[in-house]
Chains A and B, each alone.
Chain A
Amino acid sequence: MRFKFSNLMLGLGLAFLYIPMLILIIYSFNESRLVTVWAGFSTKWYASLLENEKLLEAVGKSLQIAFFSATGAVVLGTLAAFVLARFKGFKGSTLLRGMLTAPLVMPEVITGLSLLLLFVAMAQAIGWPEQRGMLTIWLAHTTFCTAYVAVVVGSRLTEMDMSVEEAAQDLGATPVKVFFNITLPIIAPALISGWLLAFTLSLDDLVIASFVSGPGSTTLPMVVFSSVRLGVSPEINALAAIIIGIVSLLVFASWFYARRVERARLKDIQAMKNG
């Protein structure tokens, strides 16, 4: 029996996951405007994509927002995770922990709506933010991405040997110095994965952004979503194909990096055994 049942299921599962993407990519090279009819190979949709300024502008805005949201979320999330992991048992720590992880399970509609109400109320009360736009989307994305970063960084912090930090203090470094000299370098990989996670989450978000965006601040998912409602244009297929290509490249690069780190580690262990 060459094909086992489990292999068959694996194949079916993978097909289920990847065939839609494959079809999408194939049809991005379709000559016809109709998404469902194949009319020959063409790259014209890629060319017209490059001329679609509205779409390109949205891509630029989304990348910008994703970059700043991820960066902000890493700073806030790391601080929150550090406080929760290292100063256990202070008053309200359980509450803070719960509050920090709540956005993970909160329906996006509710997060989006409540943030919208907050921004409206703030605009009325203190006049800031004056109007909704990039700034409010950035604030909103930083807020919900912080929760994800805190979880990723927090788990690394709890598995890290705390005596390493104590040793640094013991050798004369103040707690602030210990954080920058010792803790940060050790948890750096978690910061990077947290940043990447936040970046993708922000890039991907439609619901929250729709609530808190304003005139002139349309993100990529919003453009895609609204244009799809008018009928799917093969331009969108082309854009999606490009995004899939970039994401695959990133995934491959991170896998390659992780493999190199692992190899180096194994080599270290080998070298150690050999004396």
Chain B
Amino acid sequence: MTLKHISTGPSEVLVELEALSKSFDGHVAVRGVNLQFYQGEIFALLGGSGCGKSTLLRMLAGFEKPSGGRILLNGQDIAHIPPYKRPFNMMFQSYALFPHMTVEQNIAYGLKQDKLSKTEIDKTVTEMLKLVHMEAYRTRKPSQLSGGQRQRVALARSLAKHPKLLLLDEPMGALDKKLRGEMQLELVDIIKQVGVTCVMVTHDQEEAMTMADRIGVMNAGEILQIGSPHDIYEYPNCRYVADFIGEVNLFEGRILEEEPAYVIIEVPNLERPIYIDHGISGPGGTRPVGVAVRPEKMRMSAEQPDEQYNWGKGIIDDLAYLGQHSIYHVKMSDGKFVQITQTNDKRRETPFELEQEIFLSWNPDACVVLEK
């Protein structure tokens, strides 16, 4: 099973969004989005509820007319082509199967619109059913299928016409939690097998990271950051992204010293300033900045570290031992909480206890400076 498609070399741009925006009676849902989708990739639009990701997807499908900007397919603007003429197909969150048609008729519906011969349609339907492992359910009605089976039929239906772009709206939204994990990997498998370029929308960061080659994080109608799951997790470019993707500890401070090779930041609630072993780009000068440190990149000790930088003192307020790892909530001197995850790769002679005073420390390269 291939999990991720590793793209080698520069890929071709298939679809490009230029300053795309959409407003509903003065309420802006999508605000000047610039994006490129590459041939063969899975791109996830990730954001909280109401951030405009579905609207963006619906503009791609043609269900919403953009208020401004362009949608370019191989360089040609398709923003005003109606959905039934676009070479894109969508899998809806509710699956939107036709309740009065059998599985087979559902998959054949799009092919029939292209006036294909019966044998051709039959061949493609069989191929698609095989692709999603639903051969045995050919003559069933959607009401006779389970949630997971309906999703497979919906996927087969949207792939049957071999679209240039496959659009997925919250693909796991209608499944129960247990099924999600399996289906995420299987869906990626099928999409990669077909080789179709795919844009999906989700509010679930785990789903986006599992399935997508690249992620675009959205908030309030804008794309905040675009990058691989790794880049977005390790190098968030603003507080919102850092906070939205995974757990993070944010320290607010001021820049004390800024050199091309290092930066020193003073944080009021830490015993020592933060030292970062690389330069940052920014306007320069002392200015308030945020520093993000992921919980798993922090260390905890009962003894005071001897380093000059990058540590603080706190009291364990809450702890959860989860076997593989433990999660600690540490109350800092100013009353704020910091979360730490520690892998239990060694047995500790004396485990940390509630109310224990401990020291937190981290490496200079664990920090990300956030200006926005």
Tell me if B113 is interfacial: C-beta within 8 Å of chain A. Answer: yes
Determine if B94 and A170 form an interchain contact, defined as CB atoms under 8 angstroms apart: no
Tell me if B109 is interfacial: C-beta within 8 Å of chain A. Answer: yes
Determine if B109 and A173 form an interchain contact, defined as CB atoms under 8 angstroms apart: yes
Interface locus among B141-149, B191-199, B344-352: B141-149
With A164-B96, A173-B109 in contact, is A272–B146 under 8 Å at CB? yes
Among A163, A170, A271, A272, chain B packs the most CB atoms within 10 A around the CB of A170
Tell me if A171 is interfacial: C-beta within 8 Å of chain B. Answer: yes
Q: How far does the alpha carbon of A171 sit from the alpha carbon of B146 in the complex, in Å?
A: 23
Determine if A163 and B61 form an interchain contact, defined as CB atoms under 8 angstroms apart: no
Closest Cβ–Cβ distance, residue A274 to chain B (whole Å): 10
Cβ of A174: which chain B residues have Cβ within 8 Å of it?
A: 84
Cβ of A185: which chain B residues have Cβ within 8 Å of it?
A: 100
Determine if A265 and B143 form an interchain contact, defined as CB atoms under 8 angstroms apart: yes
**Chain A interface extent, by class:** 20 to 34
Determine if B96 and A166 form an interchain contact, defined as CB atoms under 8 angstroms apart: yes
Determine if B145 and A272 form an interchain contact, defined as CB atoms under 8 angstroms apart: yes
Cβ of A182: which chain B residues have Cβ within 8 Å of it?
A: 98
Closest Cβ–Cβ distance, residue A86 to chain B (whole Å): 12
Determine if B110 and A172 form an interchain contact, defined as CB atoms under 8 angstroms apart: yes
Q: How far does the alpha carbon of A171 sit from the alpha carbon of B156 in the complex, in Å?
A: 12
Determine if A268 and B113 form an interchain contact, defined as CB atoms under 8 angstroms apart: no
Q: How far does the alpha carbon of A162 sit from the alpha carbon of B90 in the complex, in Å?
A: 14
Determine if A268 and B100 form an interchain contact, defined as CB atoms under 8 angstroms apart: no
With A172-B114, A172-B161 in contact, is A167–B96 under 8 Å at CB? yes
Tell me if A186 is interfacial: C-beta within 8 Å of chain B. Answer: yes
Determine if A170 and B90 form an interchain contact, defined as CB atoms under 8 angstroms apart: yes
Query: How many pairs of residues, A versus B, come closer than 8 Å at their CB atoms?
Result: 73
Q: How far does the alpha carbon of A167 sit from the alpha carbon of B100 in the complex, in Å?
A: 14
Tell me if B157 is interfacial: C-beta within 8 Å of chain A. Answer: yes
Tell me if A232 is interfacial: C-beta within 8 Å of chain B. Answer: no
Cβ of A175: which chain B residues have Cβ within 8 Å of it?
A: 84
Interface string of A168-181 (1 = CB under 8 A from B): 11111111010001
Determine if A163 and B96 form an interchain contact, defined as CB atoms under 8 angstroms apart: yes
Determine if A167 and B90 form an interchain contact, defined as CB atoms under 8 angstroms apart: yes
Determine if A166 and B63 form an interchain contact, defined as CB atoms under 8 angstroms apart: yes
Cβ of B84: which chain A residues have Cβ within 8 Å of it?
A: 169-175
With A163-B96, A272-B145 in contact, is A173–B113 under 8 Å at CB? yes
Q: How far does the alpha carbon of A164 sit from the alpha carbon of B92 in the complex, in Å?
A: 9
Q: Of all chain A residues, which has the CB nearest B149?
A: A272
Determine if B144 and A186 form an interchain contact, defined as CB atoms under 8 angstroms apart: no
Tell me if B99 is interfacial: C-beta within 8 Å of chain A. Answer: yes
Q: How far does the alpha carbon of A182 sit from the alpha carbon of B101 in the complex, in Å?
A: 9
Cβ of A186: which chain B residues have Cβ within 8 Å of it?
A: 99-100
Closest Cβ–Cβ distance, residue B72 to chain A (whole Å): 20
Would you list which residues of chain B between 99 and 118 have a CB under 8 Å from chain A?
Answer: 99-100, 109-110, 113-114
Determine if A268 and B89 form an interchain contact, defined as CB atoms under 8 angstroms apart: no
Q: Of all chain B residues, which has the CB nearest A172?
A: B113
Would you list which residues of chain B between 249 and 288 have a CB under 8 Å from chain A?
Answer: none
With A171-B109, A171-B157, A173-B109 in contact, is A166–B100 under 8 Å at CB? no
Determine if B89 and A171 form an interchain contact, defined as CB atoms under 8 angstroms apart: yes
Would you list which residues of chain B between 147 and 174 have a CB under 8 Å from chain A?
Answer: 157-158, 161
Tell me if A269 is interfacial: C-beta within 8 Å of chain B. Answer: yes
Q: How far does the alpha carbon of A161 sit from the alpha carbon of B142 in the complex, in Å?
A: 14
Closest Cβ–Cβ distance, residue A137 to chain B (whole Å): 36
Q: How far does the alpha carbon of A164 sit from the alpha carbon of B110 in the complex, in Å?
A: 13
Cβ of B48: which chain A residues have Cβ within 8 Å of it?
A: none
Tell me if B32 is interfacial: C-beta within 8 Å of chain A. Answer: no
Cβ of A269: which chain B residues have Cβ within 8 Å of it?
A: 143
Determine if B98 and A166 form an interchain contact, defined as CB atoms under 8 angstroms apart: no
Determine if B92 and A167 form an interchain contact, defined as CB atoms under 8 angstroms apart: yes
Q: How far does the alpha carbon of A186 sit from the alpha carbon of B98 in the complex, in Å?
A: 9
Q: How far does the alpha carbon of A223 sit from the alpha carbon of B259 in the complex, in Å?
A: 103
Closest Cβ–Cβ distance, residue B110 to chain A (whole Å): 3
Q: How far does the alpha carbon of A168 sit from the alpha carbon of B112 in the complex, in Å?
A: 11
Cβ of A169: which chain B residues have Cβ within 8 Å of it?
A: 63, 82-84
Q: State which of A171, A272, A273 has its C-beta within 8 Å of the C-beta of B113.
A: A171
B positions within 8 Å CB-CB of A: 61-63, 82-85, 88-90, 92-94, 96-100, 109-110, 113-114, 141, 143-146, 157-158, 161
Instruction: Identify the 4 closest CB pairs spanning chains A and B, nearest first.
Output: A171-B110, A172-B113, A167-B96, A163-B96
Mind listing 22 A-B residue pairs with CB under 8 Å?
A: A163-B93, A164-B96, A164-B97, A166-B90, A167-B90, A167-B92, A167-B157, A168-B109, A170-B83, A170-B89, A170-B90, A170-B158, A171-B89, A171-B109, A172-B85, A172-B114, A172-B161, A175-B84, A182-B98, A268-B141, A272-B144, A272-B145
Known pairs A171-B110, A273-B146; list 14 more (Cβ under 8 Å).
A166-B90, A167-B92, A167-B96, A169-B84, A170-B88, A170-B89, A170-B158, A171-B109, A171-B161, A172-B113, A173-B84, A174-B84, A265-B143, A272-B143
